């Protein structure tokens, strides 16, 4: 199972730190796995593959946030015990990497060196709760309209019934995970690591400052041109990679 979950295209066993990248809803690991060839040799990049896509295309999609979290932790825990690590996550991936980070901290006394989050309000914020769209209540046409407004899904996929039949199950499953995600901050911040945020200037307004409630570490916010999937634009992606490099190797 670990081999299915972890996609490390450019292994660097002597790297001083590992970067685990969590996909957005409907996304895969290959986008992030390619970062491994664009970052310094002292950083090893691993993309996480959710079931129902890429190398796990035949695996049933996961509809349970708890099951997904347990699978991710089982896959990365041995590696997190070996070397320092950091997390990156966009949208659903940001929520998932925070969820995994706080569990690793509370149950195993392990914490990322840094956490990079993108494209979503802080999980406990009113803005995130108010903006939730419950996709389980949408029929397929309504769900396609939702995807069109969000962006990120190529038109050739949205126009093709055959392609949508392949892509709808993992997309719906992932958005069900978004629907299920609830977090209410009680007491002290669960993390101590720095949190670095990037977001698209033209995406819906997110409550990014509320991420500070979740850590005693430093919070940094950077805005880049583009909408929800600003990170897919080459210039933005290169700026993200430059930022990651500067944090670890300044």
Active site residue 90: no
Listed in order, strand segments (DSSP E) in the chain are 6-7, 17-22, 43-48, 85-90, 115-118, 195-200, 219-224
- DSSP code per residue over 68-114: HHHHHHHHHHHHHHHS-EEEEEETHHHHHHHHHHHHHHHHHS---S-
Catalytic residue among 90, 124, 206, 228: 228
Burial 190-202 (b: 16+ CB within 10 A, else e): bbebbbbbbbbee
Crossing angle for the helix pair 161-180 and 65-82, to the nearest 10 degrees: 80
Catalytic residue among 29, 91, 118, 121: 91
CB atoms within 10 A of CB 215: 20
Active site residue 228: yes
Sheet holding 17-22, edge to edge: 6-7, 43-48, 17-22, 85-90, 115-118, 195-200, 219-224
Q: How far apart are CA 93 and CA 49, in angstroms?
A: 11
Catalytic center residues: 91, 228
């Amino acid at each position: 199972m670990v081999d299915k979950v972890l996609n490390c295209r450019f292994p660097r066993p002597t790297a001083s730190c590992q970067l685990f990248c969590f996909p957005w809803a409907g996304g895969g690991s290959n986008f992030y796995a390619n970062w491994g060839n664009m970052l310094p040799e002292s950083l090893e990049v691993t993309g996480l593959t959710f079931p129902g896509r890429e190398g796990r295309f035949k695996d049933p999609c996961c509809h349970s946030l708890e099951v997904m979290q347990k699978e991710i932790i089982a896959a990365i825990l041995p590696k997190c015990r070996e070397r320092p690590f950091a997390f990156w996550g966009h949208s659903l991936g940001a929520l998932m990497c925070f969820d995994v980070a706080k569990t690793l901290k509370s149950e195993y006394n392990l914490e990322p060196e840094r956490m990079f989050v993108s494209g979503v309000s802080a999980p406990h914020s009113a803005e995130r709760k108010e903006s939730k769209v419950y996709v389980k209540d949408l029929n397929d046409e309504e769900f396609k309209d939702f995807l069109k407004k969000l962006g990120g899904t190529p038109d050739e996929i949205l126009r093709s019934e055959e392609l949508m039949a392949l892509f709808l199950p993992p997309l719906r499953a992932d958005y069900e995970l978004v629907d299920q995600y609830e977090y209410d901050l009680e007491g002290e911040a669960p993390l101590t690591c720095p949190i670095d945020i990037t977001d698209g200037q033209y995406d819906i307004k997110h409550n990014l400052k509320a991420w500070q409630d979740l850590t005693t570490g430093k919070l940094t916010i950077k805005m880049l041109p583009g909408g929800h999937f600003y990170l897919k634009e080459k210039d933005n992606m290169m700026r993200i990679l430059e930022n990651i490099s500067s944090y670890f190797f300044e």
